[in-house]
Each structure stands twice: as structure tokens, then as C-alpha cells.
Chain A
Amino acid sequence: MTGVGMAPRDFLTDRLMLGLVVLVALVLGMPSLKPLFATLFPRLDRPLYEAESFVSLTLDHMALVGVSSLAAILLGGGAGIAVTRPWGREFRGLLETVATMGQTFPPVAVLALAVPVMGFGPEPALIALTLYALLPVVENTVAGLDGVPAPVLDSARGLGMGPAEMLFRVELPLAAPVILAGIRTAVIINVGTAAIASTVGAKTLGLPIIVGLNGSNQAYVIQGALIVAALAVVIDAGFDRLAGWLTRWSQR
């Protein structure tokens, strides 16, 4: 229902739509802002980052975040489900230890440590982002599945549901909002870490920022920073919308 027949006023106050419009305008329209940056920074020879297009940097950034997050959701979700089953319970303590300890490790340090092990390029970034995103997903999958009330499970069992049917039709739908919150944390951290991943050789929206910082070109820094900030805000607003839908759906 939302989104269809929306009044113009709602459209303007809607964080997701507004953010999306700003993001697309920034990504596509940055080249036409060249005169503005030339006026703001008259001493710069090149007031616009043109080594790569912002469209391709944005797509690469989103691909890195998307692939690593997807891998983390599959691996982390799977591990979270496994340790809440009777046969996997023994590994729960280990997984929780790793998830809690790992989250005290700063993401930028994890990213840097991937380089001595794997070298430079997009691969260490992908591995570091996946590993880091695993932790909140695991933590929230376990917490979400734990939070399913025992009477609900008993009555599902009473209805003759098997373990797999219970998992997919009762446990996961009820745990979905909590799991989604973990995925949101993971993705938002990854959007930021992917920007820093330009320092280990991945081409992302962090590249104009890093190049600008190293070459004292403030215009590059602002261009990269504006787009990556808009991207993060839009993705966060998207998760907000998704969480709203999910809560309504699971309360049906």
C-alpha cells in the first residue's frame, strides 16, 4: 500500500525516497557540479574526480558490500541455526565467544590484517568484510531463535510439525525481526569498511577520498564522502522500511 498513490508531501518527508533521490542525483550529477567545485576550490587543477566514474565506483562499492553481506547472512545464519538445534548445542559457547570477542576487534584493523595474509586487492577486502559481518548476524540469529517462546514451539510440535517445518514456518518467521536487525548492523558497518577498503586495493567510493587525502585535493574528498554518506543513509532507511513491513507481517 505504501508507495502507491503517495501524496507529494509524504514523498518529501519520506527518508528513504528523499535519500534515494539525493543519492541518484549525486551519483549521476556529480560531473555537472564541476563548475561549483572549481569555484569552491579555485587553487585545484582538477576539481572533479574523473579517474573512474562515480556510477562504476558506486556499483563496485555496492557489489562488495552485497556479496560480503550475502555470504555472511548464509554462513552466519546457518551457524546460528545449527547451534540452536539439539545436535549443535555443544558449539554454541564457542560461537558466542568468537562473535563477542570478534566484535571488539575494530573493523579497520581486521581489514588491515587481511593484507599480510592475502595480499592487496578486492579479495582481502571481501574476506575481511564477510568475516566481520558474520558476527552480528550470528549473534542476532541465536538471540532471535532463542526468543521464540517455548509454548509456541510446544503447540507447533503438538500440531505434528517436523523439525524442518517448525524451523521454517514458526521459528525463523518469529525470529526474523531480530535477525534483520543483525543483518542491518552488519551491512551498515560494511558500507563504511568498504570505503576504507580502498586503502587495501579495492575500488570503492573510498577511492576519491583516499586519493584526495593523499594529494591534498579536498574536492575529491567531499565528492566521495557525500556519495558514501548518502548511500549509507539510504541503505539504513531501506532497512527501516523492511523492519516495519516484517514486524507487521510477523504480527499478522
Chain B
Amino acid sequence: MTSRPLLHNRVALLMVLAAAVAAVALPFLGFAPNRLLSGRPVPLWAAAQGFDGAIALLPGLALLATPFLRPTRTGLGLTVVAGGLFTAGLVWLAGAQAAALAQGASAAARTSFASGFWVMAAAGLLTAIDAARRLGLGAIGRMAVGGAVAALVALQLASGHLDALSILKEYANRREIFADAVLRHAMLVAAALVPTLLIGIPLGVAAHRVQAVGRAVFPVLNVVQTVPSIALFGLLMAPLAALGAMLPGSGISGVGPLPAVIALTFYSLLPIVRNTAVGLDGVPAPVREAARGMGLTPGQIFLRVDLPLALPVFLSGLRITVVQAVGLAAVAALIGAGGLGAIMFQGLFANALDLVLLGAVPVILLAVAADALLSIGIAAATHSIGVLPGRSAP
């Protein structure tokens, strides 16, 4: 008679161990009298006292059991829920503790997330996502798990429960600047996308039809992609400033959004041109011939055969472009283009770390959201042409 193995999920075990070490050895929050002084650490056990704290950590107890749950639908489903609720519970606990600390302190006091929080939150989320994968959920399903946790955090944000945390205090001080920065950031990306698509798609079609075009275009775009963004921004400044001096009243300037949009366009072209060409290259010749045999004109073949079949590959190029542009637009703040990068660098230059968070975290969220939305679009486009039998298959 063989004994059943006790341990069923070594990934969950690793995550639980990491979270346990972080809970004991790392600070959960940092509490500082004002935003310039460095804070004193607040360990998890100090933050979790009282009835509410115990409730918030209940999913953590469930998480401790997850490595030993059998990999049935119920067991894995429980693991997903425990991991997700653990992360959301940590955020809740941080908000509650920040509010409690704020009561006995001046308005300038700051409570911010510390390393222990980040490690534990990541461990909970990764356990949930890994269990979702084991359940056979595809990329979209796993995104939904992440989205559910994000929704729980968003609820706490909306209810004002997290208002005492330092990042939200910074937000409260800069509500209007922040809203403008998010809008400006999105506008920079969108403004670069227009010329990118107008130039990139025709170039991609040309590269697909005439090999010489591809041989001429791709090496140039590859070199551009190699040049560090901060260098390209810097190198565009002087010529544009000179041009602006020659054409007074044209509004052309070496700083601000114009050089940013030009540089973003240069970087964005490669994935668009390449994936347009590769997508069209991938349309099987017999399909085109069949369409011709059915009496479709070249224009109709392009619109009704080439376009839908090349769409998934094109969209994955668009996904790379947008995610990349969200990050590059943050760097563009250095040349005065504004956006979330401006808040981030202002924080770095002034040694105001909560301000850094207020700039950097939304940049990451924007990139992740763009990635998720376009991934759903790619899945839909792939599904509609039926090339692959659904991305959600295990």
C-alpha cells in the first residue's frame, strides 16, 4: 500500500514560505513624521492587531493550507480565492493601519507600503494566478483573476478606505495635476500612434509585396530601436530647436510634446511595419487563389481575406508598440513632454518617494491595462478566423 503524497503544490509552498519570511522579517509599512524623514518600520504583527486585523489575515491562514490541497477543481479554486483575497486583505490592512496611525499624528505624517507588503502581495497574487493556470484557465482567464483582485482594491480606493496611505495623500494634494498627467500621457501615446499607423501599415504592405523595401527599411528601424530613448530625445532637441528658430511662429520647439511624439513614432514603427509584413506573409497562397477563383477583385481580396487573416499578428505588433510607448512617454517627461513621467521624475529629483510612486505605479498600470485589452482583442481576432482552437484551452 502506497501512502498518498502530502504536498501537492510546490509553487504554492514556495510562495507561502516567501510570504511567511516577509511577514516575520520584513517591515509591512513604513511610518514617517513627514515625507522628508525616513520612516520607522511597522511589522505585520503590529498592523494586524484587533478583530479587524485578524479577519483581514484569514485568507492568509487558508493560503498556508494551499500547498497541501489536492489538485481538484475545488482545491485549485480555493487556492485561487485564498491567494486573491490574501492580497486584497493586505491592502485593506494597510489602509486600516494607516488610518489608525494618522489619528495620533500630525497631518504631515506619512504611512507607506514597505518591502514586506510588496513581497506578500506578490506571493498571494502569483499563487492565485498559478492555481488558475493549473485549473486550465488561459491567458484571458488568468487576466480575469488579476482583474478581480484589482477590482477589490479599486473598491477600497473608491470607498476612501485607503485615503490615509501616503500615495493617496500625494494624490489628494495633486488631484488636478494627476488627472492632467494621465490624460497627457495617453495623448502622447495616441498622438504617436496616428503617424505610426499611417506610415507603418503602408510600409508593412510594401515590405510584404516588394522584398527590396523590407531590405531597405528593417535595418534602419532596427538601429533606431537600438538607440536608447533618452539619447534619441536628446539628439532630436537641437535640430528641432534650430528649425523652430528658422520658422518663428510655427510652434516648433526642441522641448515639449513635439520631439517626444517624433521619437515615439520612430520607436513605434518597427513592431507595426514588421508585424504587418509578417502577418501578410502568413496568409496561405491557396486561400488567396481560392478567393481569386471565386471572382473577388484584388481590393476585395485584400479587405476580406488578407486583412482578417493578418489581423492577429498585426494586433500583437500593436500591443508591443503601445506597451512600449507607454514606458517611453514616461522618459519623454525629461524633455518637458509632461505626463506621468513628469510626476515620477519630480519625485526623484526632489527625493519625494511617495511622489515617485504616484508617477510610476500608474505608468505600470497603464501598460498592464493596454496589454490586457489588446490581448483580449488578439484572442477575439484569432478566434474569429478559427486558426487556433481558442486560446483558453489548457
Q: Shortest beta-carbon distance, B189 to chain A, in Å?
A: 12
Q: Is B345 within 8 A of A97, CB to CB?
A: no
**What chain B residues lie within 8 Å of A206 (beta carbons)?**
230
Q: Is A236 within 8 A of B226, CB to CB?
A: yes
Q: Is A225 within 8 A of B364, CB to CB?
A: no
A116 within 8 A of B: yes
B232 within 8 A of A: yes
Interface residues of A in 66-91 (CB under 8 A from B): 90-91
Q: Is B364 within 8 A of A192, CB to CB?
A: no
B306 within 8 A of A: no
Interface residues of B in 209-263 (CB under 8 A from A): 222-223, 226-235, 237-238, 241, 254
Q: Is A199 within 8 A of B345, CB to CB?
A: yes
Q: Shortest beta-carbon distance, B115 to chain A, in Å?
A: 6
Interface residues of A in 103-156 (CB under 8 A from B): 104-109, 112-113, 115-117, 120
Q: Which residue of A lies closest to B146 (CB)?
A: A101
- Interface segment out of the listed B91-99, B174-182, B287-295, B350-358: B350-358
Binding site secondary structure of chain B? helix
Residue of A94, A106, A193 ringed by the most chain B CB atoms within 10 A = A106
Q: Is A213 within 8 A of B335, CB to CB?
A: yes
**What chain A residues lie within 8 Å of B360 (beta carbons)?**
109, 112-113
Q: Is A113 within 8 A of B357, CB to CB?
A: yes
- Interface segment out of the listed A25-33, A42-50, A216-224: A216-224
Q: Is A196 within 8 A of B230, CB to CB?
A: yes
B43 within 8 A of A: no
Alpha-carbon separation in the docked complex, A101 to B115 (Å) = 20
Q: Is B10 within 8 A of A91, CB to CB?
A: yes
**What chain B residues lie within 8 Å of A106 (beta carbons)?**
323, 326-328, 330, 363-364, 367
- Interface segment out of the listed A3-11, A51-59, A169-177, A227-235: A227-235
Q: Is B344 within 8 A of A112, CB to CB?
A: yes
Q: Is A115 within 8 A of B356, CB to CB?
A: yes
Q: Is B230 within 8 A of A94, CB to CB?
A: no
Q: Is A218 within 8 A of B228, CB to CB?
A: no
**What chain A residues lie within 8 Å of B335 (beta carbons)?**
213
Q: Shortest beta-carbon distance, B225 to chain A, in Å?
A: 8
Instruction: Count CB-based A-B contacts (< 8 Å).
Output: 141
Option from B14, B235, B348 in Cβ contact (under 8 Å) with A112: B348
Q: Is A104 within 8 A of B228, CB to CB?
A: no
**What chain B residues lie within 8 Å of A213 (beta carbons)?**
234, 334-335
B130 within 8 A of A: yes
Q: Is A221 within 8 A of B234, CB to CB?
A: yes
Option from A90, A192, A209 in Cβ contact (under 8 Å) with B234: A209
Q: Shortest beta-carbon distance, A38 to chain B, in Å?
A: 15
Q: Is A90 within 8 A of B10, CB to CB?
A: yes
B129 within 8 A of A: yes
Q: Which residue of B lies closest to A218 (CB)?
A: B238
Alpha-carbon separation in the docked complex, A120 to B360 (Å) = 16
Option from B223, B241, B334, B349 in Cβ contact (under 8 Å) with A233: B223
Alpha-carbon separation in the docked complex, A229 to B229 (Å) = 9
Q: Which residue of A lies closest to B9 (CB)?
A: A90
Q: Shortest beta-carbon distance, A104 to chain B, in Å?
A: 4
B376 within 8 A of A: no
Alpha-carbon separation in the docked complex, A171 to B376 (Å) = 35
Q: Is B344 within 8 A of A109, CB to CB?
A: yes
Q: Is B226 within 8 A of A109, CB to CB?
A: no
Option from A116, A193, A221 in Cβ contact (under 8 Å) with B356: A116
Q: Is A93 within 8 A of B133, CB to CB?
A: yes
Interface residues of B in 331-382 (CB under 8 A from A): 331, 334-335, 341, 344-345, 347-349, 351, 353-354, 356-357, 359-361, 363-364, 367-368, 371
Which residue numbers of B lie inside 8 Å of A, CB to CB? 9-11, 14, 112, 115, 118, 126, 129-130, 133-134, 142, 222-223, 226-235, 237-238, 241, 254, 323, 326-328, 330-331, 334-335, 341, 344-345, 347-349, 351, 353-354, 356-357, 359-361, 363-364, 367-368, 371
